Amino acid sequence: MATSPLDLAPVLPVVVLHDASDAVPLARALVAGGLPAIEVTLRTPVALDAIRAIAGEVPDAVVGAGTVIAPQQVKESVAAGARFLVSPGWTDVLLQAMRESGVPFLPGVSTASEVVALLERGVTEMKFFPAEAAGGTAYLASLAGPLPQARFCPTGGIGAANAPEYLALPNVGCVGGTWMLPADALAARDWDRVERLAREASELSRLRLRPQV
């Protein structure tokens, strides 16, 4: 199977696009800034077109689909060129569809029971969502002891200030966020600013900080 999005960069940009024509220049800016893995969320009508454009025109990008909540979305996303899938939660039906897609996937969890259920099903890589609301670094640090085989991409409420605390945890492979995609920069199509913010995000320290308890 292809490389997991957990292992491509410390930050996974979470992109919401309203104009498909922005997809390629945005992706190029993120890649140039050192963030090759890009999650395009299926929250807008142009999402699949955006994934298709990035997959076809930005060869150094590893584009994935986020907010995947139905088997049909799995099929449509992979057909459009998505190379990984991310969901905010999971069911057995959705999990089966993602497993059968042939691409890496990160099903969403927010409780220890959900993590254990996925481990029972052979899944060890997950999205932790909504990260801050669900307990943040303290919660993830607590999971590392009894469930060390689980690895996470926490997303939700994470920015430049607290991302290093998450990345310092042994069970965190990367974090998801939008802070390198400020609304005013996207509105102005200021791709140079996006590239600069992406570069800062790609260089976030992974020094082992003392986990919160």
Q: Which residues are catalytic?
A: 39, 127
Question: Considering only CA atoms, which of 12, 42, 26 is closest in space to residue 185?
Answer: 26
Burial profile 152-181: b = 16 or more Cβ within 10 angstroms, e = fewer: bbbbbebeeebbebbbbbebbbbbbbbbbb
Neighbour count for residue 1 (Cβ, 10 Å): 8
Pair 199, 33: CB distance under 8 Å: yes
Amino acid in position 105 = F
In 3-state terms, what secondary structure has residue 131? coil
Pair 164, 123: CB distance under 8 Å: no
Q: How far apart are CA 86 and CA 94, in angstroms?
A: 11
* Angle, CA 170 vertex, CA 166 and CA 171 arms, to 5°: 80
Tokens for 107, please give them: 């099903």
Q: What share of the chain is helix, strand, coil (3-state, %, to 5)?
A: 40, 15, 45
